[in-house]
């Protein structure tokens, strides 16, 4: 039986990744800071699907806690780098410590886990890595500057690794969701109420699209028709236009 490791597994997309991977017959390694939530999810999935679900509680922004997760990703078949968080507001008014921690989790931890997993998978000639980014990474995001920049890094980094590992037997994809109904917006203090209902997706459809795209080894996976249109617009328009559009939308929300 294959084993998948999911970071940020205690809630939102991470918990949904764990559920769908269990449904597809994978044993699991669940990683997040909240041990109580992980324990509850592990029991739920073991009882429902008969899979093994190990809990690895860790704060991935702390080197001493990240190191055991690096060691574990070397032994699994699939890695879902989902852990991350965002902040909202003018950069100079936000707490710098939180911005740096955001970079540490969204970028540095993801890079370290991707490196550890890819090295072991290439040696074995098989494996799969899915890095979770965002449509926010397709253009500069005023009032969301650090988050958007970290996700832009994840998109570019993952697409490059995808190309590097062509022919090795290792699949590498980046998933770029748009607005998804999870705890993310509340935690980031994002004024989500101004977003029209038709732009929202739910975790099950986002995760299913991500796992299906990874199975097909697609470099870039964007779930939902509206998100594909928005991503295409952002890709072809100059940043001078897209950053002003993003800024205007956010000003309406504040």
Question: CA–CA separation, 247 vs 162, rounded Å?
Answer: 32
pLDDT score for 179: 72
pLDDT score for 236: 47
Phi-psi region of 217 (alpha: psi -120 to 50; beta: other; left: phi over 0): left
147 among known catalytic residues: yes
The domain spans of the chain are 3-253
Q: What superfamily would CATH give domain 3-253?
A: NAD(P)-binding Rossmann-like Domain (3.40.50.720)
- pTM of structure: 0.86
116 within 8 A of 10, measured Cβ to Cβ: no
pLDDT score for 1: 78
pLDDT score for 171: 98
pLDDT score for 139: 84
pLDDT in tens, the chain (254 residues): 799 999 999 999 999 999 999 999 999 999 999 999 999 999 999 999 999 999 999 999 999 999 999 999 999 999 999 999 999 999 999 999 999 999 999 999 999 999 999 999 999 999 999 999 998 899 888 889 999 999 999 999 999 999 999 999 999 999 999 776 666 555 545 555 555 565 557 899 999 999 999 999 999 999 865 555 555 545 545 555 444 545 454 544 44
174 within 8 A of 133, measured Cβ to Cβ: yes
10 Å CB burial of residue 66 (0-12, 13-18, 19+) is buried
3-state secondary structure 51-113: CCEEEEECCCCCHHHHHHHHHHHCCCCEEEECCCCCCCCCHHHCCHHHHHHHHHHHHHHHHHH
Question: CA–CA separation, 70 vs 60, rounded Å?
Answer: 10
**What Å distances lie between residue 233 and 19, 44, 52, 95, 209, CA to CA?**
33, 41, 43, 32, 21
pLDDT score for 95: 97
């Amino acid at each position: 039986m294959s084993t998948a490791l999911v970071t940020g597994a205690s809630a939102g997309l991470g918990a949904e990744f764990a559920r769908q991977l269990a449904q597809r017959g994978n044993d699991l390694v669940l990683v997040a800071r909240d041990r109580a939530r992980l324990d509850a999810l592990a029991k739920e999935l073991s009882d429902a699907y008969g899979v093994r679900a190990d809990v690895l509680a860790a704060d991935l922004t702390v080197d001493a806690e990240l190191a055991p997760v690096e060691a574990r990703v070397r032994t699994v078949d699939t890695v879902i780098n989902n852990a991350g968080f965002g902040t909202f507001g003018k950069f100079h008014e936000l707490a710098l410590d939180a911005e740096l921690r955001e970079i540490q989790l969204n970028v540095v931890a993801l890079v370290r886990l991707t490196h550890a997993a890819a090295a072991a998978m290439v040696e074995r000639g098989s494996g799969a890595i899915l890095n979770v980014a965002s449509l926010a990474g397709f253009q500069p995001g005023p009032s969301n500057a650090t988050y958007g920049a970290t996700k832009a890094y994840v998109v570019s980094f993952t697409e490059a690794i995808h190309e590097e590992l062509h022919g090795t037997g290792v699949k590498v994809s980046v998933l770029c969701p748009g607005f998804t109904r999870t705890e993310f917006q509340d935690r980031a203090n994002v004024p989500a109420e101004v977003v029209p209902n038709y732009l929202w997706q739910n975790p099950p459809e986002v995760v299913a699209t991500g796992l299906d795209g990874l199975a097909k080894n697609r470099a870039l996976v964007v779930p939902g028709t509206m998100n594909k249109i928005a991503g295409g617009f952002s890709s072809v328009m100059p940043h001078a236009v897209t950053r002003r559009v993003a800024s205007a939308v956010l000003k309406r929300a504040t």
